[in-house]
Amino acid sequence: MKSALVRLIGFPATLIHGDTLVLDRWLWLKKRLPKPAKGKKLLDVGCGTGAFAIGAAKLGFDSFGVSWDERNQNVAQSRAKICHVDAHFDVLDVRKLDTREDFRGKFDALVCTENIEHILDDAKLMRDMAACLKPGGAIYLTSPNINYRPMTKDDLGPFVPIENGGHVRKGYGEDRLRELCAQAGLEAEEISYCSGYLSQKTTALLRVMARVNHPIAWGLTLPLRALPPLLDGAVSSVLKWPGFSICLVARKPQI
């Protein structure tokens, strides 16, 4: 079904087949990626099924994605072909990013969304990602906000120090992100938040209904996806509702 939807409507399908938070992250990322993109190289670390790497390729980036899951990488490569973009994907455990000498100092932009919270040695991952950047290049990172309000009971944890695919920590605050940047020789340029009240409530509804039937839940919540990009900022501000994800732009200093 997911591939069929990509064939039907192209790249936008990669942003809406999951929860609403994926679209929020893409809108945040797209607004901040360097322009013009043509001739610039982008690496998506922990790219999943490749939505952001494909989207970046459509913007003109020479785009590359890595993830440990071979099935996801096959799906990503297939979707890139359907979307008529030249994005490349490889299987790699991001904890071993430092073994890819061919990545060192090669990228103008590096994307890492909702991945670092799965990794115990987050300081090493940040250093390894920084090493992949050219001088002046930037990391675009999102992770759960340490102060988020749980959407469903799944967001309550437990958060255990075992790398078994789950979150090893609840999330991050601004101080910890700045500390990680400093340790990696990066300058924290911007810290913001995304996925407010409307996105979170839509995703919560989708999750609850999906326990009964996921395709029906997806179809019934699809019309609600138009609301967060238009109204979430204002509604969340009025309600003082914390964003679910904290978002970082960190730059590698010029030599």
Domains of the chain: 2-197+241-251 (3.40.50.150)
Average pLDDT, whole number, for the chain?
95
- Per-residue pLDDT band at 200 (split at 50, 70, 90): very high
Rounded to whole angstroms, how far apart are CA atoms 233 and 242? Answer: 11
Decide if pLDDT at 170 tops 80: yes
pLDDT value of residue 233? 95
Q: Is the dihedral of CA 160, 162, 165, 169 positive or negative?
A: positive
- Per-residue pLDDT band at 17 (split at 50, 70, 90): confident
Q: Is the dihedral of CA 40, 41, 44, 45 positive or negative?
A: negative
For residue 208, how many other CB atoms are within 10 A of its CB?
12
- Angle between helix axes 197-210 and 227-239 (nearest 10 degrees) is 110
Q: pTM score, two decimals?
A: 0.95
pLDDT value of residue 52? 98
Mean pLDDT, residues 196-213 taken together: 96
Mean pLDDT, residues 236-253 taken together: 98
Rounded to whole angstroms, how far apart are CA atoms 24 and 15? Answer: 9
Q: Are 177 and 191 in contact (CB under 8 A)?
A: yes
Pairing of strands 107-113, 187-194: unpaired
- Angle between helix axes 214-221 and 197-210 (nearest 10 degrees) is 150
Over the Cα atoms of the chain, what is R_g?
18
Pairing of strands 88-91, 62-67: parallel
Mean pLDDT, residues 161-187 taken together: 96
The residues near 38 (Cβ < 8 Å, ≥ 6 apart) are: 60
Percentage of the chain beyond pLDDT 70 is: 99
Decide if pLDDT at 221 tops 70: yes
Decide if pLDDT at 2 tops 80: no
Pairing of strands 107-113, 41-45: parallel
